[in-house]
Amino acid sequence: MNESQQYSGWQNKTAYHILQKMAVENISNHGRIGFFSHDSFKIQKGKFIKYLTKENIFKINYPYLLFDRDNCYVGYLDFEDEKEELQLFMMQCEKELQTELQMESNLPNNSISSDHNRGIATQVHQIVWHSATCKFAYPIAYYGINTLTAHEINKILFQLAANLECIGIHTIGSICDGAGENRNHIKSFDWWASTWSLDDIVEVNIGKNNYEQAKIIATNLDRSKFTVRLLDPSLSSEIQVDRNSLRPPMPTKKNWIINDSCEFKNPKDNKWHEAIVTSLDSITQTFVIMILSTKEEWKVAVVSQNIYVRPLYDVQIHWANHKTINPITGTPWYFISDPTHVFKKLRNNLSKSHIGEGKGRNIREIMIDGKEVSWRHIQGVYDYTCKNSTAKITRLTKRHVWLTSWSKMRVDLAEQTLSRDVENAMEMIDELKEISSGTRVSNNKRC
């Protein structure tokens, strides 16, 4: 049997192995820039592995069991269904290790047993490093887990990135699926808070969602609180606020046209209001805006527009959830959604469009550029190919159309459903136009 020591987390030997493989495959410096992919895998129930060393105690379920060699349980041994033998072996391992740890560290028994009571892991979280410029990948580490918090993912990824940075391998981002812990992990970072510096201009909420421009003059260590000085001399000079009270300012705008949306600072209450440009006068160099809530109109001189008029705030312009600052290098770190999972999610969302039947069933209506997108179109393509056996123009089967928990996980089914062949079939089959008409009629009746 081929034996090798197995450990969770980062191992120093990983650095040697990855550098050795890069040398063998002739990976140059530009190929040593890459990203992590990480994912969790459920472990088969009813199976068990016990991994023990003098330094730690680590349990995970697995189809194999590690065996003893030189006071470490290493390698894999398949016990199949011999449960009694497995349990006896496990108890013996625990007893021997507990005795050894007690003798070496002189810690009380309850301290050791508390480690044993941490529970059996139900998942393995694996991290793989990929080159961004060439076909090279290497598994960096794995961890036995039950649950994984955003803080734990952050700590794991950036610690591994730091280790690789020490050997000349640079990591610029990570790719993962849309699991809840991954979404929380990405949301836990704040690009703007991590990049703002002293004297930077921001907008601060001074009350009731009324934002004024201010200059940053101080911040605490974790950048959760900022001290700012308001630029408007008529307002209080310095205030300390939480991070969520700040936002980056919109770019200035010099040229306005009729029907442009904007924010207008009403001299009556000294607050910003949503407004729209209604007219322009190039001769007098003025333009008229109308406050939408009150229909009140004001004439603004072009030379004073930066005081009273600013672009309507658009959060999408400053959306930065896809990146943060790498705390190891100070350079940008990018978060990427796994394309295969995005593809499956797109197909799954489409499968919920206009499939409600009977009372009490919710029907989702997806529209793109005013055009309807319905799962019934996919069903229509399948029905057409079933009725016209000579016109087998797609690879759609029942598994593609009537989804189950199993088929929803199949990437190949999602790819074939959203393929160019299906798109071409939709354009060719005239009967599909009636599906859209029928769906709109049924929606109108429900209204």
Q: Which amino acid is at 71?
A: N
Do 17 and 136 lie in one domain? The reply is yes
Residues 243 and 267 in one domain: no
Tens-digit pLDDT profile for residues 182-220: 989 998 899 999 899 999 999 999 988 899 999 999 999
One domain for residues 365 and 234: no
Name which of 52, 120, 129 is nearest 89 in CA terms: 52
How many independent structural domains does the chain possess?
Answer: 4
- Higher-confidence residue of 238 and 50: namely 238
- Over residues 425-432, mean pLDDT: 82
* Domain identity same for 161 and 20: yes
* Bridge partners for 241 per DSSP: 226
In a domain, 326, yes or no: no
Residue 134 has pLDDT above 60, yes or no: yes
Q: What is the pTM of this model?
A: 0.68
On whether both 27 and 140 belong to a single domain, the answer is: yes
Residues 54 and 122 in one domain: yes
- Give the pLDDT score at 392: 67
90 — pLDDT class (breaks 50, 70, 90): low
pLDDT of 159: 95
Does residue 66 lie in a domain region? yes
Q: E-strand spans in 286-381?
A: 286-291, 297-301, 309-311, 323-325, 332-337, 366-368, 371-373
Containing structural domain, residue 71: 12-185
The rounded distance, in Å, linking the Cα atoms of 154 and 189 is 9
Q: Verify that 44 and 122 share a domain, yes or no.
A: yes
Confidence (pLDDT) at 81: 42
Q: 108, exposed or middle or buried, with CB in 10 Å at 0-12, 13-18, 19+?
A: exposed
In a shared domain, residues 168 and 270: no
Cα–Cα distance between 277 and 262 in angstroms, integer?
A: 7
Same domain, 66 and 157: yes
Q: Tell whether 101 is covered by a domain.
A: yes
Q: Are residues 49 and 160 in the same domain?
A: yes
Tell whether 211 is covered by a domain: yes
> Do 22 and 158 fall within a single domain?
yes
Give the lowest-confidence range in 70-84, 149-163, 308-322, 419-433.
70-84
Return the pLDDT at 48.
45
- The residues with which 271 forms a beta bridge, in sequence order, are 266
* Mean pLDDT to the nearest integer, 302-312: 91
Structure confidence at residue 23 (pLDDT)? 95
Query: Could you tell me if residue 442 is inside a domain?
Result: yes
Predicted confidence at residue 425, as pLDDT, reads 86
Same domain, 50 and 140: yes
Angle CA 230–233–239, to nearest 5: 30
For residue 293, tell me if it sits in a domain: yes
- For tokens 């928990």, what's the residue? 405
The β-bridge partners of 42 are: 123
pLDDT at 62: 39
Burial code (b: 16+ CB inside 10 Å, e: under 16) for 305-322 equals beebbbbebeeeeeeeee
Give pLDDT, residue 64: 37
CATH of the domain at 234: 2.30.30.140
Residue range 399-424: mean pLDDT, rounded: 88
Q: Looking at the domain assignment, is residue 190 inside a domain?
A: no
Higher-confidence residue of 59 and 91: namely 91
Of 119 and 332, the one with more pLDDT: 332
**Residue 320 within any structural domain of the chain:** no
pLDDT tens digits along 30-54: 999 999 999 988 876 544 444 444 3
